[in-house]
């Protein structure tokens, strides 16, 4: 089920997970944690977000053709990038 944030508070426990959208774009996912430890859930969420970011970076690298670079090219790019950061 998808809804805006103003309706999310009125839907009750039976509708989990609840996907909240703003202007038809995903904003949040609300789940019933039950007896789960909130800190454990936040750690798992952080790990999931890191995995999603890594997947996105790998996909962009493939799209840009960077997955076919030789080790020599990789080392040259690293050297060039580090030199720019020192400025």
Mean pLDDT of 7-20: 67
For 50, what's the count of Cα atoms within 13 Å in the CB-facing half-sphere? 6
Q: Look at residue 15 and tell me whether its pLDDT is greater than 80.
A: no
Q: Look at residue 2 and tell me whether its pLDDT is greater than 70.
A: no
Percentages helix, strand, coil for the chain (3-state, rounded to 5) are 60, 15, 25
pLDDT in tens, 32-75: 888 899 999 999 999 999 999 999 999 999 999 988 999 999 99
Can you name the residues that pair with 20 across neighbouring β-strands? 3, 28
Burial of 30 (0-12, 13-18, 19+ CB in 10 A): middle
Distance CA 64, CA 77 (A): 14
């Amino acid at each position: 089920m998808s809804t805006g944030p103003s309706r999310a508070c009125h839907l009750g426990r039976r509708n989990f997970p609840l996907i909240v959208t703003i202007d038809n774009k995903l904003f949040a996912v609300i789940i019933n944690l039950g007896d789960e430890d909130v800190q454990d859930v936040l750690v798992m969420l952080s790990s999931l977000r890191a995995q999603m970011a890594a997947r996105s970076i790998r996909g962009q690298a493939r799209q840009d053709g960077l997955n076919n670079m030789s080790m020599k090219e990789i080392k040259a790019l690293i050297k060039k990038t580090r030199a720019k950061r020192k400025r």
